[in-house]
Amino acid sequence: MADLQSTPQPSAETDAVIDVRDVHYAVDGRPIFAGLDIRVRRGLITAVMGPSGTGKTTLLRLITGQIYASRGHVSVFGREIGDMGRAEIYATRKRMGMLFQNGALLTDVDVFDNVAFPVREHTNLPEPLIRTLVLTKLEAVGLRGAAHLMPSELSGGMARRVALARAIVMDPEVLIYDEPFVGLDPISLGVILRLIKQMNDALGITSVVVSHDVHEIATIADYSYLLSEGKVVAAGTPAQLAASDSATVRQFMTGGAEGPVPFHYPAADYASELLGEPA
């Protein structure tokens, strides 16, 4: 079978909303990325998968201009992130919505005010219009009746849906999900999956879903990237990844402990370290 990483994506380069090319990035000399290439196409749901510690959240920080690549190119909406000034980066972020891994709701205000927060922060819209916007987005995630509940009164799944309503309240062009399925029960997980798909189709947006939940993301992703050792080791549709004969892909897709992705972080000889012998 051909290497999935070399499989061309069926679209022109101009279709890319986010384009990451030959990106290198390290923390304290430890490489995180070493030649990363990812393209997010307009209107599709793109999944970025990989074992813990492969830099999935770091990738989101590069895309949103919180950190910068030491080498390579990161462009968003056709503009190089590294060439943007602070004002342009802020303007670019306003075109994106973010669903954080833990929801990140403000704990001292109710659901309505959590969703209204970005609108009040970034616009001068009158309160009646803000009310309409907030109720519309809460209705879209099925929580209009929970508008006056406090975050402490919400279940984990409800909190994630409130966070999704807040992420879409500014009508973003790109919606980014950072591990959206963590800690959810099967029913809540199914609801979030359905909402991600519905939001993408109904709003005509582009979605990036960072996750290690292989089977769940495969049900909604149009295209997927698998990261390992600082780069993309496989890319394709969920069906292509499932059919891959790559040992790395098989290990990740099946959750195997044995394979190219090591369980142990590199360390000195175990017996020698226990005996206190110098390395």
Residue 220 phi, psi (nearest 5): -125, -20
Alpha helices for the chain (secondary structure H): 56-63, 86-94, 111-122, 127-140, 156-168, 186-203, 214-218, 238-242, 247-254, 270-274
pLDDT at 229: 79
pLDDT at 261: 54
CATH topology of domain 1-91+213-256: Rossmann fold (3.40.50)
**Weakly modelled stretches of the chain, pLDDT under 70:** 1-14, 102-103, 247-248, 252-272, 277-279
Q: Could you tell me how many residues make up the chain? A: 279
Rounded to whole angstroms, the Cα distance separating 275 from 93 reads 52
pLDDT tens digit string along 159-187? 888 988 998 888 899 999 888 877 777 88
Buried b (16+ CB within 10 A) or exposed e, 114-129: bbbbbbeeeeeeeeee
Give, in degrees to the nearest 5, the angle at Cα 48 between 33 and 67: 45
pLDDT at 10: 46
Domain ranges of the chain: 1-91+213-256
pLDDT at 185: 78
pLDDT at 212: 78
Q: How far apart, in Å, are the Cα atoms of 70 and each of 35, 77, 226?
A: 11, 21, 22
